[in-house]
Amino acid sequence: MPITPATATQSTSKGTTDAILLELVDEKGVTIGTAEKLAAHQPPGQLHRAFSVFLFDEQGRLLLQRRALGKYHSPGVWSNTCCGHPYPGEAPFAAAARRTFEELGVSPSLLGEAGTVRYNHPDPASGLVEQEFNHLFVGLVQAPLAPDPEEVGETAFVTATELTERHARDTFSSWFMTVLDAARPAIRELTGPSAGW
């Protein structure tokens, strides 16, 4: 497997861990600087670039993941297939493909841009704030999953009806419905009208 910044050892010569930097943006998505990841999520939050991926199987079912319990932000909640932050200077598309492989052990067989959405979602459990300019991607997954247990606690493929039932019953990430609703036009184009998205 190629070594990327996320899979490489992130330590300095003094044995300390390098900070993970996010790309800060203005309201139009133009880069204006960087900030350390945790600092960017402290209230009131700093607007930064992010991405969200929605992958579907050949039956038009959405792949959900339940975030691992060890994650510092929104642990143990259900969310879209994959989400995260590009490294400063990394294209959102490349970051989305990279993190999908790192988290789920699979590369999308198709991945396309689905627009952007800007939101501000406080996480009631952690007190952290998602102040994000989010790039959306939709695509297909056709290979077996191999999730990283440090990232992903569980996965499930769901129909639109099953998602409605699960969303009413289970806890989802604070941003899930915002990014799903923003991606729906591209999702409908990908899955067709019969899938019900």
Q: Which tokens is 144 given?
A: 């077996």
Residue 99 pLDDT > 80, yes or no?
yes
Q: Which residue intervals of 1-136 are DSSP H helices?
A: 37-40, 92-104
- Range of lowest pLDDT (4-18, 40-54, 125-139, 165-179): 4-18
The whole-number average pLDDT for the span 47-55 is: 98
Of the pLDDT bands very low, low, confident and very high (cuts 50, 70, 90), residue 12 is: very low
CA distance 73 to 68: 10
Cβ neighbours of residue 53 under 8 Å, at least 6 residues apart? 80, 81, 82, 83, 96, 99, 100, 108, 111, 137, 138, 139
pLDDT for the residue 17: 57
pLDDT tens digits, residue range 55-95?
999 999 999 999 999 887 888 999 999 999 999 999 999 99
Please say if 82 is a catalytic residue.
Answer: no
Is residue 167 classed exposed, middle or buried when 0-12, 13-18 and 19+ CB atoms within 10 A define those classes? middle
The rounded percent of the chain whose pLDDT value lies above 70 is 91
The whole-number average pLDDT for the span 167-192 is: 96
Of the candidates 83, 103, 130, 151, the residue annotated as catalytic is 83
Question: Model pTM?
Answer: 0.89
Of the candidates 23, 103, 130, 132, the residue annotated as catalytic is 132
Please say if 83 is a catalytic residue.
Answer: yes
The rounded percent of the chain whose pLDDT value lies above 90 is 83
Cβ neighbours of residue 164 under 8 Å, at least 6 residues apart? none
